[in-house]
Amino acid sequence: MKRSIAILGSTGSIGAQALQIIDMHPDMFEVAALTAHSNAAAFLSQVKKYRPRFAGMVDEEAAKAIRGQIPEGVFFSQGGGCLKEACALPGLDLALIAVVGMAGLKPLIECIERGVQVALANKEALVCGGTLVVEKLKKKGQFILPVDSEHSAIFQCLQAKGEGNSIKRIFLTCSGGAFRDWKKKDLFHATPAQALKNPNWDMGKKVTIDSATLMNKGLETIEAHALFGVPADDIEVIIHRQSIIHSMVEFEDSSVIAQLALPDMRIPIQYALYYPKRVYCGVQPLDLIHLEPLTFEKPDTSRFPCLLLACEALKRGRSAPIALNAANEIAVGLFLDGRIGFMDIPEYIEAAMDKFGGQEVHDVDDIITIDADCREYIFSGFK
Ligand code: NDP
Ligand code: MG
C-alpha cells in the first residue's frame, strides 16, 4: 500500500527534489498535501500534476491568483495556518518539513503531537524549539528523520553504534562556503551575488548565505545537539572542501564511521523518505580513483564569527538560540536586499543575543514572542 506524504515547502530546493525522487518510485507514495509560500505559478503546476488532497499557499495575494484554477477534489487553504492544517490531514504517514526559517516550528510541533513521522530539512525549527521539541519527542516516543546532509550522515553512521555504546565525538563537515579563501578585509565588500555561489552545493538562498557566513554550521551544531544529545564540546566542525564525507561519528574505541557520497541532497532526502530502505535517486556513484584528495581544515572563526556565536548560543541555552536565529533570518534578508554588508550580519546577531538571549523558555508561545520581539528590535535599528 502507498504511504501518504505531506511536503511543506514543495516549491523549494528540497521540496522539488523530494518530488523528483517520488516520481522515480510512483508506487511508494501518495502525495497527500503540498504547501508553498508565494511562488504561485510553480505551486499551481505541482498541484495540477499531483492532485493532492490538500494544497496550502501561505501568501494571501498569491493564493488569490490561483484559487480559481485549483483542480476539483483538492482542498485549497491560504494563510500561515495552512502548514499546520497540512500536518493534520487524516491518514498521513510522513511529513517532509522543507520550509525555510522559523515557519517550520509550528508544523513540527503539530506533527509530534499528532504522532506523524517527520522528515526534517528545516534546521531553524530545531534551533528555536531545542529542548522543548526534544522533550515532546521523548514523551511521544518519536524520533525525527533528518534531511540535512550532515545529520543524515550522522544518523546513518549511528546504525553502526550497536548496543551499549556511546558517541565520543561528532565531526560535522563543511564545504567552507563561498568565501572560504577570501581575506577578512575583502569580506566587508562581499556582495549577495558572490555569497550565493556555493562551491559544492546548489541550495535555496537563505541556506547558501548561511553557508557563506558559516552560520549554517553553527545552526547545524545546535541541530546535532538536539537530534543526537551530544554536548557542544563534543561536536567538531571541520572544513572539508570536497564535500564527499558528509559527517562522521567517533566511538569509544576511537573508530570513526563516515558516510560518503557526491554532494547531492537527493541522497539524504531519499534516506529520510524511504527509511530504513534505500532507493535509487539519480545520483552518480563515487569514482574513488579519480576523486580529488580529501582534505580537512580547522574553520577560521575570526573571518566567520557566526560559527562562534552559534556555539555560544548553544552553551548559554535559554532564549539565546532563538535570538540568534531570529536576528540571523532578518540580517540575511537585509543582506540579500543590499541594505547591510556581509560583516554586519554577525554584529546584528550579537546585539540580539545580548538583549534577548537570557530569557527562560517554557513553551512554544514563549519562543514565538521572543522571536517576534527580536525581529522587531533588529528591524527598528536596535531601538
Ligand atoms: P528554498 O528557499 O529553496 O524553499 C523554501 C520553501 O519554503 C519554498 O517552498 C517556499 O515557498 C517555502 N517558504 C518560504 N518561506 C515560507 C514561510 N514563511 N512559510 C511557509 N513556507 C515558506 O529553501 P531550501 O529548500 O533550500 O531549504 C528549506 C530548508 O531546508 C531550510 O531550513 C534549509 O536550511 C534546509 N536545508 C536545505 C538544504 C538545501 O540543499 N537546499 C540543505 C540542508 C538543509 P515559495 O517557493 O512559494 O517561496
Ligand atoms: Mg547541511
Q: Flag residues of the chain having pLDDT under 50.
A: none
- Nearest-CA residue for ligand 1 atom 40 is 203
Q: What is the pLDDT at residue 336?
A: 98
Residues within 6 Å of ligand 1 by CB: 9-15, 36-39, 58, 83, 98-101, 103, 121-124, 148, 201, 203-207, 265
Domain 3-146, CATH: 3.40.50.720
Q: What is the pLDDT at residue 383?
A: 75
Q: What is the pLDDT at residue 291?
A: 96
Place of cell 500534476: 49
Q: How many helices (H) and strands (E) does the chain have?
A: 16, 11
In degrees, rounded to 5, the angle at the alpha carbon of residue 31 between the alpha carbons of residues 29 and 36 is: 140
Place of cell 505551486: 43
Q: Indicate the top mutation candidate among 13, 152, 262, 264 to test ligand 1's pocket, ranked by most ligand atoms within 8 A of CB.
A: 13
Give the rounded distance of the alpha carbon of 38 from its chain centre: 19
- Return the CA Rg of the chain: 20
Place of cell 555569497: 195
- Nearest-CA residue for ligand 1 atom 4 is 12
What distances in angstroms separate CA 100 from CA 8, 103, 125, 254, one per listed residue?
Answer: 10, 7, 9, 36
In degrees, rounded to 5, the angle at the alpha carbon of residue 240 between the alpha carbons of residues 236 and 242 is: 155
- Give the number of the atom of ligand 1 that is nearest the alpha carbon of residue 205: 2
Nearest ligand (C-alpha, residue 147): 1
Q: DSSP readout, 138-196?
A: HHHT--EEE-SHHHHHHHHHGGG--TT--EEEEEEEE---TTTT--HHHHTT--HHHHT
Q: What is the pLDDT at residue 381?
A: 79
Q: Where are the domains of the chain?
A: 3-146, 152-316
Question: Cβ of 50: how many Cβ atoms within 10 Å?
Answer: 22
